[in-house]
Amino acid sequence: MQIVPAHERVRAFEFDPAMPSGAMPIFGEYLDRIGRTITNQRLAGWPFVLLGFSQFFTGTGVAIPVFLIVLFGFFQVFWLHRGRVGVPENRLKRERFRRVDIAADGLVASGRTVGVRLPDGRWLRVRLDEAFRLLLAGDRRVWLLGSGPKVFVGFPGVVRVRRARIHDTPPAHAVAVPQTTWSASPRLDPVLAAHRRRRVRETWEAAAFLLALAGFATWVRLDFPADDGATGFVVLVFTGLAVVALAAAIAVAMRSIAYLGPQPADHWTELRAVPDGPVRVSPHGSARVSGLTMLADGRVVPFRIHDADPSTAANVAATGRLWIAGVPRPGRSATGVPGYPVLGTVRLG
Protein backbone atom coordinates (compact mmCIF):
# COMPACT_ATOMS: atom_id res chain seq x y z
CA MET A 1 0.00 0.00 0.00
CA GLN A 2 1.32 3.44 -0.87
CA ILE A 3 0.29 7.06 -1.13
CA VAL A 4 0.72 8.33 -4.68
CA PRO A 5 3.57 10.86 -5.15
CA ALA A 6 2.53 14.26 -6.43
CA HIS A 7 4.74 14.18 -9.53
CA GLU A 8 3.60 10.85 -11.00
CA ARG A 9 0.55 10.22 -13.12
CA VAL A 10 -0.87 6.81 -12.34
CA ARG A 11 -1.74 3.98 -14.71
CA ALA A 12 -5.27 3.98 -16.03
CA PHE A 13 -7.51 2.16 -18.49
CA GLU A 14 -6.52 2.66 -22.12
CA PHE A 15 -7.99 1.59 -25.45
CA ASP A 16 -5.99 -1.15 -27.17
CA PRO A 17 -5.11 -0.36 -30.81
CA ALA A 18 -4.04 -3.97 -31.37
CA MET A 19 -7.56 -5.42 -31.52
CA PRO A 20 -10.95 -4.50 -33.00
CA SER A 21 -12.91 -2.22 -30.70
CA GLY A 22 -15.77 -4.69 -30.36
CA ALA A 23 -13.37 -7.40 -29.14
CA MET A 24 -11.83 -5.32 -26.37
CA PRO A 25 -12.55 -6.57 -22.85
CA ILE A 26 -15.05 -4.40 -20.96
CA PHE A 27 -15.47 -1.89 -23.79
CA GLY A 28 -16.81 -4.50 -26.21
CA GLU A 29 -19.27 -5.84 -23.66
CA TYR A 30 -20.32 -2.30 -22.75
CA LEU A 31 -21.07 -1.52 -26.40
CA ASP A 32 -23.09 -4.73 -26.83
CA ARG A 33 -25.16 -4.21 -23.68
CA ILE A 34 -25.91 -0.53 -24.10
CA GLY A 35 -26.53 -0.95 -27.83
CA ARG A 36 -29.14 -3.65 -27.27
CA THR A 37 -30.76 -1.62 -24.50
CA ILE A 38 -31.05 1.48 -26.68
CA THR A 39 -32.62 -0.54 -29.51
CA ASN A 40 -35.07 -2.27 -27.17
CA GLN A 41 -36.06 0.94 -25.39
CA ARG A 42 -36.71 2.77 -28.63
CA LEU A 43 -38.83 -0.08 -29.98
CA ALA A 44 -40.76 -0.43 -26.71
CA GLY A 45 -41.52 3.30 -26.44
CA TRP A 46 -43.25 3.88 -29.78
CA PRO A 47 -46.45 1.88 -28.97
CA PHE A 48 -47.04 4.05 -25.89
CA VAL A 49 -46.55 7.25 -27.89
CA LEU A 50 -49.08 6.01 -30.47
CA LEU A 51 -51.40 4.95 -27.65
CA GLY A 52 -51.23 8.48 -26.29
CA PHE A 53 -52.29 9.96 -29.63
CA SER A 54 -55.12 7.46 -29.90
CA GLN A 55 -56.44 8.48 -26.48
CA PHE A 56 -57.40 11.90 -27.85
CA PHE A 57 -60.22 10.16 -29.73
CA THR A 58 -61.55 7.93 -26.92
CA GLY A 59 -63.00 10.56 -24.61
CA THR A 60 -60.55 9.92 -21.77
CA GLY A 61 -59.72 13.61 -21.39
CA VAL A 62 -56.49 15.46 -22.04
CA ALA A 63 -54.25 14.49 -19.13
CA ILE A 64 -53.66 10.82 -19.98
CA PRO A 65 -52.81 11.40 -23.69
CA VAL A 66 -50.45 14.24 -22.86
CA PHE A 67 -48.86 12.18 -20.08
CA LEU A 68 -48.17 9.23 -22.39
CA ILE A 69 -46.89 11.36 -25.27
CA VAL A 70 -44.62 13.54 -23.13
CA LEU A 71 -43.22 10.73 -20.94
CA PHE A 72 -42.49 8.17 -23.63
CA GLY A 73 -41.59 10.83 -26.17
CA PHE A 74 -38.97 12.08 -23.72
CA PHE A 75 -37.58 8.56 -23.38
CA GLN A 76 -37.44 8.20 -27.16
CA VAL A 77 -35.44 11.43 -27.47
CA PHE A 78 -33.18 10.46 -24.54
CA TRP A 79 -32.25 7.05 -25.93
CA LEU A 80 -31.88 8.39 -29.47
CA HIS A 81 -29.50 11.09 -28.23
CA ARG A 82 -27.53 8.67 -26.07
CA GLY A 83 -27.10 6.25 -28.94
CA ARG A 84 -26.06 8.92 -31.40
CA VAL A 85 -23.58 10.66 -29.11
CA GLY A 86 -21.94 7.76 -27.30
CA VAL A 87 -22.52 4.41 -29.06
CA PRO A 88 -20.54 3.64 -32.24
CA GLU A 89 -22.27 1.89 -35.12
CA ASN A 90 -21.91 -1.89 -35.42
CA ARG A 91 -19.55 -1.56 -38.38
CA LEU A 92 -17.05 0.29 -36.18
CA LYS A 93 -16.75 -2.72 -33.89
CA ARG A 94 -14.52 -4.27 -36.57
CA GLU A 95 -12.21 -1.26 -36.62
CA ARG A 96 -9.34 -0.44 -34.27
CA PHE A 97 -8.71 2.63 -32.17
CA ARG A 98 -5.76 4.74 -33.18
CA ARG A 99 -3.90 6.77 -30.61
CA VAL A 100 -3.17 10.46 -31.11
CA ASP A 101 -0.61 12.20 -28.92
CA ILE A 102 -1.40 15.89 -28.58
CA ALA A 103 1.47 18.30 -29.23
CA ALA A 104 2.27 21.14 -26.86
CA ASP A 105 0.51 23.62 -29.19
CA GLY A 106 -2.04 21.16 -30.54
CA LEU A 107 -4.86 21.68 -28.04
CA VAL A 108 -7.23 24.66 -28.24
CA ALA A 109 -10.63 25.45 -26.80
CA SER A 110 -13.52 27.77 -27.59
CA GLY A 111 -16.06 27.50 -24.81
CA ARG A 112 -17.05 23.83 -24.53
CA THR A 113 -15.68 22.99 -27.98
CA VAL A 114 -12.18 21.54 -27.88
CA GLY A 115 -9.91 21.29 -30.91
CA VAL A 116 -7.12 18.72 -31.23
CA ARG A 117 -4.62 19.01 -34.07
CA LEU A 118 -4.17 15.67 -35.79
CA PRO A 119 -0.90 14.42 -37.34
CA ASP A 120 -2.18 15.23 -40.87
CA GLY A 121 -2.82 18.88 -39.92
CA ARG A 122 -6.60 18.63 -39.66
CA TRP A 123 -8.47 19.36 -36.45
CA LEU A 124 -10.67 17.17 -34.32
CA ARG A 125 -13.58 19.08 -32.77
CA VAL A 126 -15.52 17.70 -29.83
CA ARG A 127 -17.76 19.27 -27.19
CA LEU A 128 -16.57 18.43 -23.68
CA ASP A 129 -17.54 19.39 -20.17
CA GLU A 130 -15.06 20.92 -17.76
CA ALA A 131 -13.70 17.67 -16.33
CA PHE A 132 -12.68 16.30 -19.73
CA ARG A 133 -11.18 19.61 -20.84
CA LEU A 134 -9.00 19.58 -17.73
CA LEU A 135 -8.14 15.91 -18.32
CA LEU A 136 -6.85 16.62 -21.83
CA ALA A 137 -4.93 19.66 -20.62
CA GLY A 138 -2.91 17.35 -18.36
CA ASP A 139 -2.91 13.96 -20.11
CA ARG A 140 -2.59 14.82 -23.78
CA ARG A 141 -3.78 11.66 -25.47
CA VAL A 142 -6.94 10.64 -27.29
CA TRP A 143 -8.01 7.56 -29.25
CA LEU A 144 -9.99 7.84 -32.47
CA LEU A 145 -12.44 5.26 -33.83
CA GLY A 146 -13.60 5.64 -37.42
CA SER A 147 -12.05 6.85 -40.66
CA GLY A 148 -14.39 9.53 -42.04
CA PRO A 149 -15.11 13.09 -40.97
CA LYS A 150 -17.37 11.71 -38.22
CA VAL A 151 -15.46 9.73 -35.62
CA PHE A 152 -15.69 8.68 -32.01
CA VAL A 153 -13.06 9.82 -29.55
CA GLY A 154 -11.92 8.00 -26.42
CA PHE A 155 -10.07 9.41 -23.41
CA PRO A 156 -7.54 7.91 -21.01
CA GLY A 157 -9.09 6.27 -17.98
CA VAL A 158 -12.65 6.48 -19.37
CA VAL A 159 -14.67 3.71 -21.05
CA ARG A 160 -17.33 5.88 -22.67
CA VAL A 161 -16.57 7.51 -26.01
CA ARG A 162 -17.88 10.72 -27.59
CA ARG A 163 -18.90 11.52 -31.15
CA ALA A 164 -16.70 14.14 -32.81
CA ARG A 165 -15.99 15.63 -36.23
CA ILE A 166 -12.80 16.32 -38.13
CA HIS A 167 -12.41 19.73 -39.81
CA ASP A 168 -9.71 21.49 -41.78
CA THR A 169 -9.52 24.36 -39.31
CA PRO A 170 -9.61 24.73 -35.51
CA PRO A 171 -12.75 26.03 -33.76
CA ALA A 172 -13.47 29.72 -34.29
CA HIS A 173 -12.09 32.08 -31.64
CA ALA A 174 -10.21 29.19 -29.99
CA VAL A 175 -7.33 29.83 -27.62
CA ALA A 176 -4.43 27.53 -26.84
CA VAL A 177 -4.77 25.32 -23.77
CA PRO A 178 -1.48 25.15 -21.85
CA GLN A 179 -0.12 22.00 -20.28
CA THR A 180 -1.37 21.71 -16.71
CA THR A 181 -0.23 19.82 -13.67
CA TRP A 182 -2.46 17.73 -11.46
CA SER A 183 -2.72 17.27 -7.74
CA ALA A 184 -2.22 14.01 -5.86
CA SER A 185 -4.74 15.21 -3.28
CA PRO A 186 -8.39 14.31 -3.96
CA ARG A 187 -9.39 17.52 -2.21
CA LEU A 188 -7.26 19.64 -4.59
CA ASP A 189 -7.67 17.61 -7.79
CA PRO A 190 -9.31 19.96 -10.35
CA VAL A 191 -10.44 17.08 -12.60
CA LEU A 192 -12.15 15.29 -9.73
CA ALA A 193 -13.73 18.53 -8.48
CA ALA A 194 -15.17 19.26 -11.94
CA HIS A 195 -16.43 15.68 -12.18
CA ARG A 196 -18.15 16.01 -8.82
CA ARG A 197 -19.87 19.21 -9.98
CA ARG A 198 -21.10 17.33 -13.04
CA ARG A 199 -22.49 14.57 -10.81
CA VAL A 200 -24.40 17.22 -8.84
CA ARG A 201 -25.92 18.59 -12.06
CA GLU A 202 -26.90 15.11 -13.20
CA THR A 203 -28.62 14.28 -9.90
CA TRP A 204 -30.52 17.56 -9.97
CA GLU A 205 -31.61 16.90 -13.55
CA ALA A 206 -32.86 13.46 -12.49
CA ALA A 207 -34.70 15.01 -9.53
CA ALA A 208 -36.31 17.61 -11.81
CA PHE A 209 -37.51 14.86 -14.15
CA LEU A 210 -39.03 12.92 -11.24
CA LEU A 211 -40.76 16.06 -9.97
CA ALA A 212 -42.22 16.65 -13.43
CA LEU A 213 -43.36 13.02 -13.50
CA ALA A 214 -45.04 13.46 -10.12
CA GLY A 215 -46.76 16.61 -11.40
CA PHE A 216 -48.06 14.88 -14.52
CA ALA A 217 -49.30 11.93 -12.46
CA THR A 218 -51.10 14.29 -10.11
CA TRP A 219 -52.69 16.05 -13.08
CA VAL A 220 -53.96 12.74 -14.44
CA ARG A 221 -55.25 11.81 -10.98
CA LEU A 222 -57.28 15.02 -10.76
CA ASP A 223 -58.44 14.97 -14.37
CA PHE A 224 -59.57 11.35 -14.46
CA PRO A 225 -63.01 10.67 -12.91
CA ALA A 226 -63.28 7.69 -10.56
CA ASP A 227 -66.83 6.69 -11.55
CA ASP A 228 -66.47 2.91 -11.46
CA GLY A 229 -64.05 0.18 -10.53
CA ALA A 230 -61.94 0.44 -13.67
CA THR A 231 -61.48 4.20 -13.56
CA GLY A 232 -60.99 4.03 -9.81
CA PHE A 233 -58.10 1.62 -10.35
CA VAL A 234 -56.51 4.02 -12.86
CA VAL A 235 -56.81 6.86 -10.35
CA LEU A 236 -55.24 4.67 -7.66
CA VAL A 237 -52.33 3.77 -9.97
CA PHE A 238 -51.57 7.39 -10.81
CA THR A 239 -51.89 8.41 -7.16
CA GLY A 240 -49.27 5.83 -6.25
CA LEU A 241 -47.08 6.91 -9.16
CA ALA A 242 -47.19 10.54 -8.00
CA VAL A 243 -46.23 9.58 -4.44
CA VAL A 244 -43.40 7.27 -5.55
CA ALA A 245 -42.03 9.83 -8.03
CA LEU A 246 -42.07 12.58 -5.42
CA ALA A 247 -40.30 10.39 -2.87
CA ALA A 248 -37.72 9.36 -5.47
CA ALA A 249 -37.11 13.01 -6.42
CA ILE A 250 -36.40 13.89 -2.78
CA ALA A 251 -34.09 10.89 -2.40
CA VAL A 252 -32.16 11.74 -5.57
CA ALA A 253 -31.82 15.38 -4.54
CA MET A 254 -30.48 14.31 -1.15
CA ARG A 255 -27.83 12.18 -2.88
CA SER A 256 -26.39 15.31 -4.50
CA ILE A 257 -25.39 16.60 -1.07
CA ALA A 258 -22.58 14.03 -0.99
CA TYR A 259 -21.00 15.65 -4.06
CA LEU A 260 -21.27 19.26 -2.97
CA GLY A 261 -17.85 20.72 -2.32
CA PRO A 262 -14.50 19.01 -2.85
CA GLN A 263 -13.61 15.46 -1.85
CA PRO A 264 -12.55 15.81 1.81
CA ALA A 265 -9.62 13.34 1.70
CA ASP A 266 -6.10 14.77 1.41
CA HIS A 267 -4.42 11.81 -0.29
CA TRP A 268 -5.03 8.69 -2.35
CA THR A 269 -4.04 5.27 -1.06
CA GLU A 270 -3.14 2.57 -3.56
CA LEU A 271 -4.14 -1.04 -2.90
CA ARG A 272 -3.39 -4.07 -5.01
CA ALA A 273 -6.58 -5.64 -6.29
CA VAL A 274 -7.16 -9.18 -7.56
CA PRO A 275 -10.57 -9.44 -9.25
CA ASP A 276 -12.32 -12.78 -8.84
CA GLY A 277 -13.85 -12.60 -12.32
CA PRO A 278 -14.44 -10.34 -15.30
CA VAL A 279 -16.20 -6.99 -15.08
CA ARG A 280 -19.93 -7.49 -15.52
CA VAL A 281 -21.87 -4.78 -17.34
CA SER A 282 -25.62 -4.31 -16.82
CA PRO A 283 -28.04 -3.63 -19.71
CA HIS A 284 -28.09 0.07 -18.75
CA GLY A 285 -24.31 0.45 -18.80
CA SER A 286 -23.42 0.28 -15.10
CA ALA A 287 -20.74 -2.20 -14.02
CA ARG A 288 -19.71 -4.34 -11.08
CA VAL A 289 -16.50 -6.05 -10.11
CA SER A 290 -15.36 -7.84 -6.97
CA GLY A 291 -12.26 -9.55 -5.66
CA LEU A 292 -9.64 -9.41 -2.93
CA THR A 293 -7.32 -6.67 -1.69
CA MET A 294 -4.91 -6.18 1.23
CA LEU A 295 -5.13 -3.46 3.88
CA ALA A 296 -2.21 -1.76 5.63
CA ASP A 297 -2.25 -4.20 8.56
CA GLY A 298 -1.83 -7.17 6.24
CA ARG A 299 -5.43 -8.34 6.29
CA VAL A 300 -6.76 -9.69 3.02
CA VAL A 301 -10.34 -8.52 2.62
CA PRO A 302 -12.88 -8.78 -0.18
CA PHE A 303 -13.88 -5.69 -2.12
CA ARG A 304 -16.99 -5.06 -4.16
CA ILE A 305 -17.85 -2.29 -6.59
CA HIS A 306 -21.51 -2.49 -7.56
CA ASP A 307 -23.73 -0.49 -9.91
CA ALA A 308 -20.85 1.86 -10.77
CA ASP A 309 -19.74 3.84 -13.78
CA PRO A 310 -18.01 1.30 -16.07
CA SER A 311 -14.83 3.40 -15.97
CA THR A 312 -14.48 2.72 -12.24
CA ALA A 313 -14.62 -1.04 -12.68
CA ALA A 314 -12.53 -0.98 -15.87
CA ASN A 315 -9.62 0.81 -14.19
CA VAL A 316 -9.53 -1.73 -11.37
CA ALA A 317 -9.59 -4.67 -13.79
CA ALA A 318 -7.11 -3.16 -16.27
CA THR A 319 -4.48 -2.00 -13.76
CA GLY A 320 -4.89 -4.35 -10.79
CA ARG A 321 -5.01 -1.29 -8.55
CA LEU A 322 -7.72 0.01 -6.25
CA TRP A 323 -7.40 3.68 -5.27
CA ILE A 324 -9.04 4.77 -2.02
CA ALA A 325 -9.57 8.42 -1.12
CA GLY A 326 -8.02 8.72 2.31
CA VAL A 327 -7.25 5.82 4.64
CA PRO A 328 -8.89 2.52 3.62
CA ARG A 329 -11.10 1.00 6.30
CA PRO A 330 -13.65 -1.81 6.29
CA GLY A 331 -16.97 -0.57 4.98
CA ARG A 332 -17.85 1.89 2.25
CA SER A 333 -15.07 4.11 0.88
CA ALA A 334 -14.71 6.53 -2.00
CA THR A 335 -12.71 5.15 -4.91
CA GLY A 336 -11.52 6.56 -8.20
CA VAL A 337 -8.34 7.19 -10.16
CA PRO A 338 -6.06 10.14 -9.30
CA GLY A 339 -6.19 12.78 -12.00
CA TYR A 340 -9.07 11.25 -13.97
CA PRO A 341 -12.86 11.87 -14.02
CA VAL A 342 -13.55 8.54 -12.34
CA LEU A 343 -15.42 8.30 -9.07
CA GLY A 344 -17.34 5.56 -7.28
CA THR A 345 -17.91 3.69 -4.06
CA VAL A 346 -16.27 0.45 -2.95
CA ARG A 347 -17.19 -1.80 -0.05
CA LEU A 348 -14.21 -3.32 1.77
CA GLY A 349 -14.65 -6.37 3.95
The whole-angstrom separation of Cα 300 and Cα 294 is 4
Q: pLDDT tens for the chain, 349 residues: list them.
A: 444 444 456 889 999 999 999 999 899 999 898 888 888 888 888 888 888 888 888 766 788 888 889 989 998 998 888 888 888 988 899 999 999 999 989 999 999 999 999 999 999 999 999 999 999 998 999 999 998 899 999 999 999 999 999 999 999 999 999 888 777 789 889 999 999 999 999 999 999 999 999 998 888 888 776 565 566 777 788 889 999 999 999 999 888 887 877 788 889 999 999 999 899 998 888 899 999 998 888 889 999 999 899 999 999 999 999 999 999 988 999 999 999 999 999 999 8
Task: Spell out a b/e string for 305-331, using b for 16 or more CB atoms within 10 Å of the CB, else e.
Answer: bbebbbbbbbbbbbbebbbbbbebeee
For 272, the enclosing helix (H) or strand (E) is strand 268-275
Residue 147 CA neighbour count, 13 Å, CB half: 6
The whole-angstrom separation of Cα 133 and Cα 174 is 13
The whole-angstrom separation of Cα 154 and Cα 140 is 12
